[in-house]
Amino acid sequence: MARADQQALLDLQTAAAGVCAALGDERVAALTEGQYAALIDFAFNVGVSAFSNSGLCVRLRSGQLAAVPAEIEKWKYGRVNVVETVLPGLVTRRAAEVRVWLT
C-alpha cells in the first residue's frame, strides 16, 4: 500500500474513533451505515475536535437526527483574505455528506 493510502486510512480511522468517542458506542450503533459514513467524512474534513464541539454533535447526542442535515450544511464557510465567505467546494462537500446521511 502506498504511503499516501496508509495515511488516508489512518486519518479515516482517527475520524471514526473520534465520532465514536464523541457520541458513545450505543448511539453510534443506532446509526445507519450511511449516517455513520457521513459523520466520519464530516469529522475527517473539519477535524475531530471541531466535530466533537459542534452543534451537530449536540443534536446527535440529544437524538435530534432530523436536524443533522441542516447542521451539516452550516459548515460551508472558510476564510478568503481574512473574510469569512461561503466556499463553493464546501457547499458541494456538505451536500454530498447530506446525501450519504440520507441513504
Sequential pLDDT tens for the chain (103 residues): 688 889 888 999 999 999 999 999 889 999 999 999 999 999 999 999 999 999 999 999 999 999 999 999 999 999 888 888 999 999 999 999 999 999 9
Closest to 60 measured CA to CA, from 91, 52, 14? 52
pLDDT for position 94: 97
Predicted local distance difference test score (pLDDT) of residue 21 = 96
Give me the CATH number covering residue 51. Answer: 1.10.530.40
pLDDT on residue 80: 84
- What pLDDT was estimated at residue 18? 96
N-to-C CA span, the chain? 30
* Domains identified in the chain, total number: 1
Report the C-alpha gap between 11 and 29 in whole angstroms.
21
Give the range of the structural domain holding residue 65, as residue numbers without chain letter.
3-101
- Which DSSP category does 66 fall into? G
Amino acid code (one letter) for 74: K
